């Protein structure tokens, strides 16, 4: 009769400690997964913002009637900045056969957006065919 009473008394202290350890490891793992997801989401948001600003600036550049060689820079709302450099595309012109009236220019746009204590940078490049003698 004593053996049936002993088995129905409940869990031992060791069993409770092992069960709590397993539950604790599961909770810590879930918190780490959620934390990583939040970090990746925030980083993605900053990168998307930089790409959006870069595409808008590049569209404005390509809509200009003339394209002057040189460098330009300016601020972006939220503390970011952009740098644009327009130069002859010498490497591409070696592979292309262009009329003497046309030349190929390369535009390199660098967008920098602050992200916490670091700056996130993206670079966009494009080529534009322009008539010689026009900037």
- The per-residue pLDDT for range 7-44, each reduced to its tens digit, is 567 889 999 999 999 999 999 999 999 999 998 888 88
pLDDT reported for residue 33: 94
pLDDT reported for residue 8: 63
pLDDT reported for residue 23: 96
User: Can you say whether residue 62 is alpha, beta or left, with left for phi > 0 and alpha for psi between -120 and 50 degrees?
Assistant: alpha
- Tokens representing 129? 């065919």
| 89: number of Cβ within 10 Å | 19
pLDDT reported for residue 94: 55
Give, for all 135 residues of the chain, the pLDDT tens digit: 455 555 567 889 999 999 999 999 999 999 999 999 998 888 888 888 888 888 999 998 888 888 888 999 999 887 889 999 998 887 655 566 666 777 788 899 999 988 878 888 899 998 888 877 765
pLDDT reported for residue 25: 96
pLDDT reported for residue 26: 95
Distance CA 107, CA 60 (A): 12
What is the set of domains in the chain, with CATH numbers?
Answer: 2-131 (3.30.1300.30)
Record the pTM. Answer: 0.66
Helix, strand or coil for residue 113? strand
């Amino acid at each position: 009769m004593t053996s049936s009473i002993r088995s129905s008394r409940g869990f031992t202290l060791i069993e409770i400690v092992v069960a709590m350890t397993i539950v604790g490891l599961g909770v810590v793992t879930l918190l780490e997964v959620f934390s990583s997801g939040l970090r990746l989401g925030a980083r993605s948001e900053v990168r998307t913002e930089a790409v959006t600003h870069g595409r808008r600036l590049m569209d404005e550049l390509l809509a200009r009637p003339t394209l002057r060689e040189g460098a330009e820079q300016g601020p972006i709302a939220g503390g970011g900045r952009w740098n644009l450099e327009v130069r002859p595309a010498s490497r591409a012109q070696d592979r292309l056969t262009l009329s003497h009236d046309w030349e190929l220019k390369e535009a390199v746009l660098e967008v920098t957006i602050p992200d916490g204590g670091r700056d996130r940078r993206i670079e966009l490049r494009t080529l534009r065919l322009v008539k010689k003698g026009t900037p």
